[in-house]
Structure 1
Amino acid sequence: MTQAILDQLNGVLAGLKDFQKATVDLVIDKYQTPEHSHRILVADEVGLGKTIVAKGVIAQLLKRHVESNTTTPMRVIYICSNLALADENRQKLALFNGEDAKRWVKPSTFGRLVELALKPKKSEINDEHVIEVCTLTPSTSFTLTAGAGNCRERAILATLLSQTTNLCEVVKPVLELFKTNQITREGRWEDELRYLDQYFDTDPLVVSQLESSLTKPCESRVLRERFSSLQGAALYLANCWNKDLGESDETSHLFYHFRVEIRRLVARCCAGSLQADLFILDEFQRFQSLTDQSSDSEESLIARQVFSDKGKAKKAKSKVLLLSATPFKAMTTINDEDDESSHHEQLHKLLDFLSHNDVDFVSQYELKRNLLHGDMLTLSSGNADFESISDTNARSVEKLLREYIARTERSQISKGFEQLIHSNELCCGSDFSVEEVQGYRAIEALNAVLPKGRGGVSLIEFAKSAPWAISFLNGYAFKELYHRNINNPDVRTLLRKSKSSDQTQAWLSHANIQNYKLNVEQSAPNAKIKVLSKVIFEGSPENLLWSPPCKPYYQFDGVFKGNGSFTKTLLFSSWALVPKALSCLWSYEAERRVIKGKGKRPQYHSGKNASPLLRFEGQSTLNVWHLLYPCKSLAEVSYLDGSLDKVLAQQTMLIQSKLAALKQYESDDKTNSDWYVLAPMLLDRQADEVEHFEQWLEVIESRLNTEGRIKLFAKIKQYFEGSESFSLGKMPDDLAKVLAYSSLANPATCAMRTIQTLWSEGISEFDLVRYSVQFAELTTRLFNHEYAIPIVKRNVRHTLLSGQTASPAWYKVLVYCAHGNYQSMLDEYCHLLATSGSDVHAATSKLEHAMGIRSSSEQVHFWENRTKAKDKCSSSMRCHFAVPLGNQKLNDDSGLKRVVSVRDAFNSPFRPFVLSSTSIGQEGLDFHWYCRRVVHWNLPNNPIDIEQREGRVNRYKSLVVRQRIAENYTPDFGNKADVWEQLFAQAANDDANKTSDLEPYWFTPNGKAQIERIVPTYPMSKEVAKYAEVKKILVLYRLAFGQPRQQELLESFTACDIESEEFNRVKDSLIIDLAPLNAI
């Protein structure tokens, strides 16, 4: 067993890139040094895989643990900001999967600190368990200033309290008073208490500590004013409970504070005994109080107990691994210096924690840092003698910080990264119009007639940020003031003015939307959206249902032609109305462009649901089932380096010869169009794939969920019942060509090929069929989306020679899939899923989220409803082409689920194609798989946030990297291996000059694709000067690492020629480099 585990761990370590391995080795080396604090920060630049480094550290520690023949499992405690993110990252940290995980990984014994007070009565000892990973979150284990915990937690508290000596006389009320009125299901509280009593004992040490703590004074001011001790409070409240039969209005606040205080007390008792071989704090900057040594807050006190040295004489140091790309502010302005949030102050506190309050270390660091600061001032003087500036002090600071901090940055271990970014300052001057001024005047006029309940409203910012701004201002104080004064005579007079007034430029007209009259690119009273609309809609992406794959297997056709370099767009704004406005307007504009041209236009709000494009019931043709059959006889494809027509011609010839085997089903009768659905099945049966066909029948029957589907599918089954000597009439002349399309782009057949390539190991033939059908069903759902139906109907004109409909929907879908290289798209997306840890089941779930995301809606206040009451004035607009990410808090689980759901869709080939957010870049959320364009609608206050925003798309196997690799390498389709595995391997083996494993996975030097940074600006506006300053700071800010008053330091370089070669040589020598790879 030991060798099998070691082999698995060695496999994990072998998968590390060189810079990740260097970091893991450094961390392990420090942990093996007795004098070290055993606290280390891994602060790698965003997107370089800090979680993978943590996984490597766990693997190395577990190797030593296993080799030492220790009988108890190694325990890792992973602390993260919320449970949903913890679960997601725990999967990334997993060293074992499947059966190995069941065999070697101990299930987590607790998820909250309070649960440590329990000991299982019948603890099943599994000698094979070698590791346990438990997760904690600050909100449930450290920040206990509010709330009495969940039901399980309160039951534990009640049980512990009832076992203390002085409260044994009041057990019943003590147990009851922790029930609270939050439990609505009858008997749940009693079930919880019985469960704890049946399966767990309490830890005597925790009960003893709790008992002694009860005699001490209360910490809560509310309790302290009434009681001398918690024990006194408990006895009084127990008697109150008996007397009042529960809580009363007079005592409820006392009960609340008592529960909270007991919860905190028990958490502290448990924290001191919590032991782990490794603590991991992920994105710890979200809960910095845990590492603040000077704070006496509740969470800091508990955290100090958790991380304190354990064991006999407290000599066993707790190993702590901190992970964060932004452990402190990268740069702070003069305004930040007045409080404790400055860069220098945050770094100082962090060094205190990491060094375990090593005063000598911190003093030595400050001395060397100050000397380095002097070197920088010498460099900034403008007339410095470059030769006189030494890097000695920089290297001294570097050596000290390397004791506790490892930070890998792309630019420090691989050259040429700057060429990946193309900065495009879009000047909006030529698109500026008088309507934009009128829109601002309208907002100003409305503000003038409103009572001045609130001041300081940046009206001009509203007008600059979004067109028809008043329609999208829901939630702003200005709009709330408007709603409260809707019956004000002055307001009503202003809003009754004719359509020619300025007001119509500040409100969106429902009539223009309803009839698709509004052209956003031409008519929006906002220069920014006009300019960006030209960029967003270049190449007509409104007709695309997925991003064109980076490596098409043949030339694109149809609506995909000319869109090979397509990218999604990630847009950041400082104003909450912008994501909503842009998402509504660009999604509307996408719809308008799809339906423009001849024919009657539908209405935007038609009140009717569109009929599905593909129907598998009713009077539908049987041929629609063609899309769900994974045909083995058509799975062989030889891709030519040429056009779709050439590949089709070759496949048609190949299939024509195969169709000779189906002559027995042909007769002189009229052609039956069922040939199109039955031919693939008959070909498989003729090729001894009867079992495959029957497995398909079984899978489909298990998924028939409506009477209509059952009836329609029964017609297919009837053909194959009995002797099978049926006749279908003359074979259609275009059957071979239709099957050629099917061999290239049938969703089920494509899915079967993809699954066989990526997940063949351990998957049965039946599961292969089952997942292939699921993939195909999801694809049919994609084509049934309301926005997809007109795209297919209007852009695919191909016809059949047989059947009641010349151009049936199922055939249009097949042709559309062929035009868009569906197979290549699916292979590429599933490669990304597979190599990020998804098995076929998880990949299916991701596909379901991505393909299944429907139009969301946003509330819009139209001009026609301007005088209606607040609850009657809003209408909805659809968001699908573009969506807002929203402003959800990531420490709120419901908010996180919404963010992750939208992220998964955006990080897939499917819609949305534009994602807008007000956040500077949610840590842990990636948007890089299909996006290489970042729009800074507003420049952030802190210039470094530009890098944080762009770091969302500049990551492992990003779109820009894949497009560059696809441009320079070609796979061997003949060996049936993963196309992208081949391409990355070719790129990795090709560059003899690479300096690290960042190439080619994070960066490849050759290729035209770049990350587009777009900054739309008005001429002569303050943003023009601000952007020039931002670009300069981005060049210099690394110089100011660790230094106080960073803004002043960087401003001192104003007179320097920062372009000169000599200046940059010295500047680079003074920059602190903490990359472990460079220290080897």
Structure 2
Amino acid sequence: MGCRVDGPGRVKMNSESAYKSAEAVLKGLKDFQKKTAGYAFRRLYEADDSTRRFLVADEAGLGKTLVAAGVIAQAIEHLQELNTERIDIIYICSNQAIARQNVDRIKRRLDIDTRPLAERITLLPHRLTTLNQPINLIALTPGTSFNSASAEGVVEERIILFRMLSQIWGDLGPRSRKVFVGGLATVSRFRDYEWWYPERAFDESILARFQNLVGGPDSQLHQEFIRVLDYVAHRDTTEARRRRRGFVAKMRRYLAHACLDALDPDLVILDEFQRFRHLLNPKTESGELAQRLFEYEHEQTRVRTLLLSATPYKMYTFSEESGDDHYRDFLKTVEFLGGGEGSVGTLEESLREFRWQLPSVASDGRIDEAARKRLIELKGQIQSSLLKVMSRTERRGNVGGGDPMLAISETTADLDVGDVGAYLSARDLAAAVDAPGVMEYWKSTPYMLSFMDRYRLSDRLRNAAQEGQNGDITSIVGGGSGIQLPRRRASDRRPIAGGNGCMRSLLQDIRDSGLQEMLWLPPTLPSHNMGQDFNNARDATKRLVFSSWAMVPRAIAVMASYDAEREYIPDPDRASRYISQGLRINDDAFSLFSMIVPSTYLADVGNPHRYSNGSSPHELLELIESQLRPRVIEFTRDAPREGPPQQLWYAVAPLMLDGLTPVTMRSLLQTSIVESYDDDADAADVPAWTRLTTRIRNGLADPSSLGRPPSNLLQVLAALAAGSPANVTLRSLSRLTGASTSDESLKEEAIRAARSFRAFFRTPTSEGLLQNVYEPGVTVGEGSFVWQRVLAYALEGGLDDVLDEYFYVIRESLGDEAGPGVLVDKLNDALHIATGRLDVSEWKTDETGLTRVRYPMRQHLARRYVSDPRSSADQQASQHLDFVRAAFNSPFWPFVLGTTSVGQEGLDFHWYCHAVVHWNLPSNPVDLEQREGRVHRYHGHAVRKNIAQAVGPKVFERVRGAAASGGYLNPWNVAYQIASSRFEGEGGLIPNWVFTGGDARIQRHAPVLPLSRDEQRLEALRRTLTVYRMVFGQPR
């Protein structure tokens, strides 16, 4: 199929499909990314000695997905020059969260459509109705697509098989569903799921290939099906289940082969390749299936494979410093890339000699000249071999030494008497129920019985309780010290001890940072002085905590949240039955109305960029009041001077300032966004909102009916101008998009955001913080209502600057195409997940024995990022985790995220976090590198802090110059323009990934017990990491 250029930077394939040209895609990359993408493409397609497989091994966080987009764009144009009719690009990654994140990035970069995600290749018949698009980008996850460990798969796969076989073999009979029931209890449940997945037309090419593999009604497989059906129809025995599983597993394999063949792949992207190296072994069932993909050929081209991984091999030794174990897995990887056995012999010898020669370099860098020449020669040989099949970029560039952005914190986990008592109780309990040793549990998790779920200790304890085996068990649990959370203390809102050294260290760290007094992180680039609480927390960052145990994130989420929450809601009665009284919609919620509905005039006057950068919140309010005073005097001149003050003025005055009439106000308020006010409100809020707006509209129509203005009207209007969530959002969207603050569509988005802020401030924890912890430094009228504290908090907390920074990083993440609606969607997602609940276990003892009860505790300041093993709704659970990650990647709660290392490779956690806590040490340098790579990424929090420190004054010179003439500039656009022009180097690595012009660094915390084996393991990890990088020829 031919193609032609159709406008600048666009390529058109017939009349139906347009996408960005390779030139346009590459132009959007940083220089080092562009060079890597070009080199990888040439090695795959153009070089005389080209390779079918190439590895991009850039260090974690350097944008390998964007490099892949550049390779894809070049490959598309190359294949079109060969008149390829249809181009299929297969993106394989370790889980759905990574697929959603990275496929969206590739899609936006190339401006092409993509198929719906199919986490299992055998689900493609339901996901793909056609593969006839000129370009198809399809995402798969290998753990489910190539792994046959679960023989019968998920229920949707079995429904697909049942329906496809029914089309191929005809009516299978009324009993046939018995073969496909899988783990469901009954055929009736299978029918329920059939209703849930309505019938749809299968892709014809997949159906035809599957039919060729299984044959028609006379085939041997159909006869086998009949025999299996006859056996299982009236039996529910182990043998019946074995036969049923065997047949379904065989059908799944055939369907997987049919789906792979139907894809007709041209380019395969294996992202975070180290997660599925097992697919490289063609002798396994999953490896055989994967090899069909890697070795695919058709008439016009052979499939190419691009591998992405910062850590493409695994070291087998932990602390040994000699031997070839360090290279074994790496050489296997190179062998796969190079096309088979015998391709790594010379490389292996060079690596071995290179390692032998390195000790000749003295600690001060001196070396014998002959040894120096030999090392350089060996380095050249290794580099020449590796560059044929891979490339690598590291952050240090050419500056030498270690990572300049990394700071290693000397964190220890202390030990006290209570910890020892908890260990002894846990040890005795494990012995009583015949469970394995508990040393690692004890070191990791305080109050372990409260947070354990599906561990052998808790399972055997539950079994013992059910079987009435009480005795010693009851006495240990009842009298045991520190093995379960003291529920009574939690109910009474009393302090709860950390329970172990790691937790005490974390809780103290949170308290010292000031994060317990925050609803959002202080802005990195403030346009004015902030309130005392926010100034105290200026250096704060979020914390990403990695553990080897799934119960640790549960404990962190509950205990860190409770430690803060008992200050927010100290009254036990209110804690259990909390009903928010603030920010309610009622007939006279006039101040709330003006916090939800923006005013162009107030937004413009309240723009902090118009005023001095050194202003305090109090001074800023005074400056805004001085700007408002003439207008307020003008439209209140004829107002009554007697009678009670009417707060209706709070709502009508901003509308008057905008020159609105009842007709134009109705136009604004009749948007679907406002009229459908029900998603974050009580049912009574909707009619109350209607009555409220009617009163405001009537007051606007007849100003003489408004009554006497409140004496603090000017002060309240200034606070609304500065801190109303609606006005703040309107300004921030205007700065980033360039649209006017009078733009009606921008106002609608500001209303949506303000409604989410209302819900955010109405949660028990947010309202409790505002009422019981926050001490306002500015006054907004008389009294101490929630709405007044919200306005003061927004001003003192620099909400303008917070949203400027957040919208900037969201657009950096999503691309320039992300408009106001998308930005507000992301903001709303982050605000709505602020508070959740986790069940905590309590083992109760009485005269009848031992029972377990579960009770809920809140998680908000801290949350866990671990999939629930009990959830059968994989897709729904994965999407929930996406929301949790989105909230962590915002300035709002949670400030601490507890997770495990499993499946996090490639995910972003860096926008507001530059501190990683290794709660449990990883077992190898791969995991250490990958963990810290989650926060050491493009435009991360530490880099932004340093840029703000270096160029902040220059930024606000420009921003205030624009504001003086009524213009709006996003400070972060300006900051990076200045930083790039002054500091850019290393192909764009500086200042986008590495910038040391300030004090912020990526923080590595590893709290270990003094004198424990973990101290030696931590040092061994550091040494092993050096050896790991040395294999690439880039030791630090």
TM-score interval, normalised by the smaller of the two chains: 0.7 to 0.9
Is 1:517 the equivalent of 2:494? yes
Is 1:674 the equivalent of 2:648? yes
Change in 2 beyond 3 A, CA 1:874/1:115? closer
- Native 8 Å contact 1:778 1:848 kept in 2: yes
2:17 corresponds to: none
Instruction: Pick the aligned partner of 1:409 from 389, 394, 408.
Output: 394
- Shift of the alpha carbon at 1:917? 2.5
1:828 corresponds to: 805
Amino acid at match of 1:261: K
* 1:898-924 Cα distance to aligned partner (Å, 9 max, x none): 433322221111111112233277112
Is 1:290 the equivalent of 2:291? no
Is 1:633 the equivalent of 2:601? yes
2:676 corresponds to: 703
Instruction: Pick the aligned partner of 2:1018 from 1022, 1027, 1043.
Output: 1027
- Shift of the alpha carbon at 1:657? 1.8
The CA distance in 1 between the partners of 2:904 and 2:1018, in whole Å, is 23
Amino acid at match of 2:559: L
Change in 2 beyond 3 A, CA 1:77/1:761? farther
- Native 8 Å contact 1:888 1:896 kept in 2: no
Secondary structure, aligned partner of 2:411: strand
Amino acid at match of 1:853: I
Is 1:621 the equivalent of 2:589? yes
Change in 2 beyond 3 A, CA 1:728/1:435? same
- Native 8 Å contact 1:179 1:189 kept in 2: no
Is 1:400 the equivalent of 2:382? no
What is the correspondence of 1:11-26 to structure 2 with a 5 Å cutoff? Answer: 11-26=24-39
1:782 corresponds to: 760
- Native 8 Å contact 1:556 1:644 kept in 2: yes
Is 1:602 the equivalent of 2:581? no
- Shift of the alpha carbon at 1:567? 1.0
What is the correspondence of 1:984-999 to structure 2 with a 5 Å cutoff? Answer: 984-991=976-983, 994-999=985-990
The CA distance in 2 between the partners of 1:875 and 1:950, in whole Å, is 34
- Shift of the alpha carbon at 1:266? 4.4
Secondary structure, aligned partner of 1:329: coil
Change in 2 beyond 3 A, CA 1:344/1:1026? closer
Is 1:192 the equivalent of 2:182? no
What is the correspondence of 1:454-533 to structure 2 with a 5 Å cutoff? Answer: 454-455=435-436, 457-459=437-439, 461-473=440-452, 475-485=454-464, 488-493=470-475, 503-518=480-495, 520=497, 524=498, 526-533=500-507
- Shift of the alpha carbon at 1:560? 1.7
1:1047 corresponds to: none
The CA distance in 1 between the partners of 2:651 and 2:231, in whole Å, is 77
Is 1:61 the equivalent of 2:75? yes
Is 1:88 the equivalent of 2:101? yes
The CA distance in 2 between the partners of 1:158 and 1:477, in whole Å, is 37
The CA distance in 1 between the partners of 2:55 and 2:676, in whole Å, is 50
Is 1:899 the equivalent of 2:887? no
1:875 corresponds to: 855
Larger radius of gyration: 1
* 1:256-282 Cα distance to aligned partner (Å, 9 max, x none): 433432332343355456423321112
Instruction: Pick the aligned partner of 1:52 from 66, 74, 87.
Output: 66
* 1:35-62 Cα distance to aligned partner (Å, 9 max, x none): 3222111121111111111111122223
Amino acid at match of 2:591: N
- Shift of the alpha carbon at 1:163? 8.3
The CA distance in 2 between the partners of 1:462 and 1:762, in whole Å, is 57
Secondary structure, aligned partner of 2:344: helix
The CA distance in 2 between the partners of 1:248 and 1:444, in whole Å, is 41
Where structure 2 has 5 or more consecutive residues not aligned to the other structure, the ranges are 11-19, 182-186
1:819 corresponds to: 796
* 1:1014-1062 Cα distance to aligned partner (Å, 9 max, x none): 23344333333433444444445422x27xxxxxxxxxxxxxxxxxxxx
The CA distance in 2 between the partners of 1:658 and 1:791, in whole Å, is 35
* 1:490-518 Cα distance to aligned partner (Å, 9 max, x none): 34455666xxxxx4454443333222332
Secondary structure, aligned partner of 1:726: helix
Is 1:647 the equivalent of 2:620? yes
- Native 8 Å contact 2:674 2:751 kept in 1: no
Change in 2 beyond 3 A, CA 1:1022/1:777? same
TM-score by length of 2: 0.85
The CA distance in 2 between the partners of 1:664 and 1:560, in whole Å, is 39
Q: Which moved more, 1:963-972 or 1:752-761?
A: 752-761
Change in 2 beyond 3 A, CA 1:999/1:626? same
Secondary structure, aligned partner of 2:671: helix
Secondary structure, aligned partner of 2:138: strand
| Percent of aligned pairs sharing the same letter | 27
- Native 8 Å contact 1:932 1:953 kept in 2: yes
2:14 corresponds to: none
Change in 2 beyond 3 A, CA 1:647/1:495? closer
Where structure 1 has 5 or more consecutive residues not aligned to the other structure, the ranges are 215-229, 498-502, 596-600, 1043-1069, 1074-1080
- Shift of the alpha carbon at 1:672? 0.8
The CA distance in 2 between the partners of 1:189 and 1:788, in whole Å, is 39
- Shift of the alpha carbon at 1:363? 2.5
1:439 corresponds to: 422
| Equivalenced residues, count | 982
1:1045 corresponds to: none
- Native 8 Å contact 2:752 2:824 kept in 1: yes
- Shift of the alpha carbon at 1:767? 2.9
Is 1:565 the equivalent of 2:547? no
TM-score by length of 1: 0.82
Amino acid at match of 1:1004: F
1:917 corresponds to: 899
**RMSD value over aligned CA atoms?**
4.1
1:1050 corresponds to: none
- Shift of the alpha carbon at 1:406? 1.5
1:982 corresponds to: 974
Instruction: Pick the aligned partner of 1:3 from 2, 6, 11.
Output: 6
Amino acid at match of 1:311: H
Is 1:321 the equivalent of 2:306? yes
The CA distance in 1 between the partners of 2:143 and 2:234, in whole Å, is 28
Change in 2 beyond 3 A, CA 1:947/1:139? closer
Instruction: Pick the aligned partner of 2:318 from 333, 339, 348.
Output: 333
- Native 8 Å contact 1:573 1:918 kept in 2: yes
Secondary structure, aligned partner of 1:454: coil
Q: Which moved more, 1:579-588 or 1:374-383?
A: 374-383
1:143 corresponds to: 147
2:222 corresponds to: 234
The CA distance in 2 between the partners of 1:491 and 1:186, in whole Å, is 43
Secondary structure, aligned partner of 1:922: coil
- Shift of the alpha carbon at 1:967? 1.0
Change in 2 beyond 3 A, CA 1:436/1:868? farther
- Native 8 Å contact 1:108 1:132 kept in 2: no
The CA distance in 2 between the partners of 1:689 and 1:1002, in whole Å, is 52
- Native 8 Å contact 2:722 2:795 kept in 1: yes
Secondary structure, aligned partner of 1:634: helix
2:291 corresponds to: 304
The CA distance in 1 between the partners of 2:590 and 2:846, in whole Å, is 51
Instruction: Pick the aligned partner of 1:756 from 734, 749, 761.
Output: 734
